[in-house]
């Protein structure tokens, strides 16, 4: 009964999604309905970080696939190790929602080995400061995959969700008990996890780009990321001006993971070379990629004056978030193979 009530509360928290409307479960159709079905089957509930993408079905399928095939599906690494990496990345990116959810899940996994070293590695990996990874090479596609997936998710969650996974009406005094209960609800069942590869059917096959060499040893992980990268690139081509895409790629080429600071003066300098019509998209894309904590209603509404639909907003955010995650993956690859 308590677990059912917690699931209901988390579903209600979908109403707290910022800036976009989430497609209700009863109205979902086509690709959105299929993603919802897989999420509820494999995650135990309709997870808001996935559902927030519902205005852009292909972006949602991409986001779900990289999460499912790294964090949830059966593989070589155990779930506690994956949750530790997810938590460490989320701490580094100051994503309180993700820290809460994955910290609760990790704490609820029985007999989990000490995972502090993995969490510390994941935290350091966000700025390219990680030492050699503390796991065997055969676990790299899954654990690096979790790190890259959460570089993406932290940005999307920081923009579109509240700081807590609990609905806004839940009082602070009730949250410690709610965390214990939700941790139990999220605790994965004993066993190897959902069958790997089921999400690959959601998106068409795509060639493996050069920056996915770390995923190659796992056909499933490589397939999920290749499809996701292709889908988000297509989303960017639809919803992000070409000049903005070129600007962000240029900034990311020398970015070392460090935040630009509390002031947003850097944004005005960065977009000064763009056409006036492209500057709202430029400000929003750069802020999401490099400082998602700086995104506010003003940046979002300025973009909406040029592209009012929820689908365009999600596609821009997904493209910018994935571009940043891909940049982080390049220094994770170096930490795997210094040669």
Question: Tens of pLDDT along 167-194?
Answer: 666 666 656 666 666 665 666 766 678 9
Average pLDDT, the chain: 90
Q: What per-residue confidence (pLDDT) applies to 170?
A: 63
Q: pLDDT means per 10 residues in the chain (339 residues)?
A: 52 82 96 97 92 98 98 94 95 93 84 81 88 91 98 98 73 63 64 89 97 96 98 98 98 93 90 98 98 96 97 98 97 67
Q: What per-residue confidence (pLDDT) applies to 205?
A: 98
What value, to the nearest 5°, has the Cα angle with vertex 30 and ends 29 and 35?
90
87-122 pLDDT tens trace? 999 999 999 999 988 888 888 887 556 788 999 999
Give the three-state DSSP class for 75.
coil
| CA torsion, ordered 194, 196, 202, 204, to nearest 10 deg | 180
Q: Where are the alpha helices (DSSP H) in the chain?
A: 2-12, 30-43, 48-51, 57-67, 79-92, 96-108, 116-125, 140-160, 175-186, 219-239, 242-253, 265-271, 279-290, 297-304, 310-336
Q: What per-residue confidence (pLDDT) applies to 127?
A: 86
Instruction: Provide the whole-model pTM.
Output: 0.93
Q: What per-residue confidence (pLDDT) applies to 243?
A: 98
């Amino acid at each position: 009964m308590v677990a059912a009530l917690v699931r209901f509360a988390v579903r209600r928290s979908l109403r707290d999604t910022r800036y976009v409307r989430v497609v209700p479960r009863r109205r979902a159709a086509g690709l959105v309905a299929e993603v919802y079905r897989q999420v509820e089957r494999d995650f135990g509930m309709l997870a808001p970080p996935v559902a927030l993408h519902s205005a852009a079905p292909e972006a949602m399928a991409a986001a779900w696939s990289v999460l499912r095939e790294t964090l949830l599906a059966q593989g070589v690494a155990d779930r506690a190790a994956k949750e530790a990496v997810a938590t460490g990345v989320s701490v580094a990116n100051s994503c309180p929602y993700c820290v809460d959810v994955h910290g609760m899940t990790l704490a609820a996994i029985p007999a989990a080995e000490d995972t502090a070293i993995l969490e510390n590695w994941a935290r350091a990996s966000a700025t390219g400061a990680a030492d050699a990874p503390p796991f065997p090479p055969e676990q790299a596609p899954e654990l690096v995959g979790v790190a890259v997936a959460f570089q993406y998710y932290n940005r999307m969650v920081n923009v579109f969700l509240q700081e807590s996974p609990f609905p806004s009406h839940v009082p602070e005094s009730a949250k410690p008990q709610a965390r214990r209960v939700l941790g139990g609800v999220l605790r994965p069942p004993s066993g190897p996890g959902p069958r790997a590869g089921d999400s690959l059917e959601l998106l068409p096959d795509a060639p493996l780009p050069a920056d996915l060499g770390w995923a190659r040893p796992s056909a499933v992980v490589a397939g999920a990321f290749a499809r996701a990268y292709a889908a988000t690139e297509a989303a960017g081509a639809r919803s992000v001006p070409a000049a903005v895409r070129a600007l962000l790629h240029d900034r990311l080429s020398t970015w070392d993971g460090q935040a630009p600071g509390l002031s947003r003066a850097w944004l005005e300098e960065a977009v000064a070379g763009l056409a006036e019509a492209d500057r709202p998209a430029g400000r929003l894309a750069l802020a999401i990629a490099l400082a998602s904590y700086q995104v506010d209603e003003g940046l979002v509404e300025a973009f909406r004056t040029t592209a009012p639909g929820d689908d365009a907003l999600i596609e821009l955010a997904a493209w910018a978030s994935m571009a940043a995650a891909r940049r982080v993956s390049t220094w994770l690859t170096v930490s795997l193979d210094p040669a």
